Copies of this chain bind each other. A is one copy, B any other.
Amino acid sequence: METRKEQKERRRQEIIQAALELFVGRGYAATKITDIAKRANMSTGLMFHYFDSKEKLYEELIRMGLEGTAYPGEQKCEHAIDFFVNFTEALFAYMKEQPVVAKFFVLMAEAQRSEATPEHIREIAMKVNVIEQFVPIIEWGQNEGTIKEGSPLVISNAFWCSIQGIAERFATNQDIELPEAEWIVDIVRRK
């Protein structure tokens, strides 16, 4: 038998999951509280028992997205390019296994990009800054000759934009077959 505490936590999770799917599928602004309630099988009123407002619910999801975004350090790779291969393969495998991962990519991207995002929420979302995190790895790879010449920041940006584009497509259409990780790594690989 479920305790009240457990039940409360489950309900919370049901709301969070429904909201994630809708925010990703329709965008935050186009998602109605009633839609979320319907998908979570509850009345609209009950939503407010768990979250003070639609915006607070959004904030909670963005916080979750931020916490879930723990990218590995330089690992134990012989070459920088191996880091990219391992990372990309792991990410794609993870997205296939847990489609929620791709959904969080889309959620965070919208929060970062949209001018309609409430400022305090955008600030939280902006703490995810993967592009800069990959710069030192690219510099390492350029020194050893496994990664292309060029501005590390611009290269990192190209890589991440591609990952982002792929995640966005996959998040809303899981029938799409993900590309080989190597193909995407070729963006940064020196020939």
Contact = CB atoms under 8 A, between A and B. Distances in A.
A25 B114 contact: yes
A174 to B, nearest CB: 13
Contacts of A90: none
Contacts of A165: 160-166, 168
Interface string A126-143: 000000000000000000
Given A161-B168, A163-B165, A168-B164, A116 B179 contact: no
A154 interface: yes
A191 B148 CA distance: 14
Interface in A136-184: 148, 150-151, 154-155, 157-158, 160-166, 168-169, 172, 176-177, 179-180, 183-184
Given A164-B169, A184-B187, 6 more contacts: A29-B29, A29-B30, A161-B166, A161-B169, A186-B189, A187-B187
